[in-house]
Amino acid sequence: MQKVIIIGASSGLGKEVAKLLIADGYTLGLAARRTQPLEDLKALAPERVMVHAIDVTSDDAPQELEHLIDMVGGIDLFIYTAGVGFQNMELEPDIELKTVNTNALGFTRMIGAAYRYMAEHGGGHIAAISSIAGTKGLGAAPSYSATKAMQNTYLQALEQQAHMRNLNITFTDLRPGFVATPLLGDNPQYPMLLKTERVAKEIVTAIKHHRHVWVIDWRWRIATALWRRIPRCLWRHLKVK
């Protein structure tokens, strides 16, 4: 996998993953709404890094993705890292709808565009950063946890469909715990907060090993396994943030 597209590479995990892949010698197409941070990454390897502005909430985002793929000269690996997340105890409608627009509609728009392209061009690998928040509904962040559960299910469905259609497309669903990125902030109220650089390294390793689902890190693998076993009648009484 030499040609990689990363959506959401301007900050956080997308940026750190891009740095690692640049250092490994990959050819990258980097996309985000803001291009200046992408230009900083391009300066690390100008001959191997192309940048392009893409807003995943825009209707023309799939066409812009195809343009970026043409700039790179193809695609072997598509990594989706874009997303927003908010706690919303007051259930402010603007926050809920913004989250759905980005994490559900934008996600579906871009993953679907990559899938269709790979289906027509011999296959590839689709990796997406979802979250452990999709394990159960979190009262502090209703739309965030719901959209992450949707992402988990959507990737699972596409993986099954690819097999049904005999498509050479593989999938990796990456589910980090709480990570100290601009999305979350280095907030001490979050338990088992993970460092961005460490998570990025584990993401790259999971992709290279073609993991289907990978929870980051081992502590969160244990925590989410326990969460799944908590019955709904008990879960509703827990204060999980």
Q: Are 131 and 148 in contact (CB under 8 A)?
A: yes
Dist CA 179 CA 154 (whole Å) = 23
pLDDT digits (tens, 9 = 90+) for 168-182: 999 999 999 888 765
Q: Provide the strand spans (E) within 81-224.
A: 124-129, 169-176, 213-216
Any bridge partners for residue 29, and if so which?
Answer: 5, 50
Maximum CA extent, the chain: 56
Give the DSSP H or E segment for 234: helix 232-235
69: its two tokens: 């793929």
pLDDT digits (tens, 9 = 90+) for 21-49: 999 999 999 999 999 999 999 999 999 99
Q: Are 61 and 113 in contact (CB under 8 A)?
A: yes
Alpha-carbon distances of 13 from 20, 110, 178, 181, rounded to whole Å: 11, 18, 12, 7
- 3-state secondary structure (DSSP) of residue 51: strand
Segment 105-110 shows an average pLDDT of 98
Instruction: Please name which of 117, 113, 5 lies closest in space to residue 51, comparing C-alpha atoms.
Output: 5
Categorize the per-residue pLDDT at 215 as very low, low, confident or very high, splitting at 50, 70 and 90.
very high
CA angle 127, 129, 135 (to 5 degrees): 120
Which DSSP category does 193 fall into?
Answer: P
Write down the CATH number for the domain with range 3-235. Answer: 3.40.50.720
- The pTM of this model reads 0.93
